C-alpha cells in the first residue's frame, strides 16, 4: 500500500467542516497537513498487519455481569468496601464517612 498524501486543499476543507477555518493561518495549515499525513501513514502501516487469524470481537467484555455475580456474589462488594475504607482512612480531614475538602467557591 502506498503512502497516503493529504494536501493543503484537503486540510482547508477539513478545517471548514470543523468550523475552524478562520483560525487557520499558513503556518497552522502546514503543521496540520504534516500531522494528518503522519496519522494517515501510521494507519497505512497498521493496515499491513495480518489479522486473519484473530476472531472479531463484539465487545471487550467476554462474560456477562450476571455470570460474574453468580460465581462470586460478595467479591465486588467486599472489594468496593475495602477500597472505600482505605481512601477514607488516608484522607487528611473527615467527618464520619465524609471527606472534608476546602471550599471551591469563596
Q: How confident is the model at residue 38 (pLDDT cuts 50, 70, 90)?
A: very high
Match 472505600 to its residue by C-alpha cell.
84
Q: Are the C-beta atoms of 3 and 41 separated by less than 8 Å?
A: yes
Whether 88 shows a pLDDT value over 60: the answer reads yes
Q: How many CA atoms lie within 13 A of 69 on its CB side?
A: 4
The model scores a pTM over 0.75: no
CA dihedral (71, 73, 74, 76) positive or negative: positive
Confidence of residue 71 (pLDDT cuts 50, 70, 90): low
- 64 or 104, greater pLDDT: 104
DSSP 99: E
Amino acid at each position: 500500500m502506498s503512502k497516503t498524501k493529504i494536501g493543503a486543499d484537503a486540510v482547508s476543507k477539513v478545517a471548514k467542516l470543523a468550523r475552524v477555518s478562520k483560525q487557520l493561518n499558513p503556518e497552522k495549515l502546514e503543521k496540520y497537513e504534516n500531522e494528518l499525513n503522519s496519522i494517515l501513514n501510521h494507519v497505512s502501516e497498521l493496515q499491513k498487519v495480518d489479522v486473519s487469524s484473530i476472531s472479531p470481537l463484539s465487545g471487550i467484555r467476554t462474560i456477562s455481569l450476571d455470570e460474574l455475580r453468580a460465581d462470586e456474589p460478595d467479591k465486588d462488594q467486599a472489594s468496593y468496601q475495602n477500597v472505600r475504607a482505605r481512601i477514607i482512612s488516608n484522607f487528611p480531614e473527615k467527618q464520619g464517612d465524609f471527606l472534608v475538602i476546602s471550599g471551591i467557591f469563596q
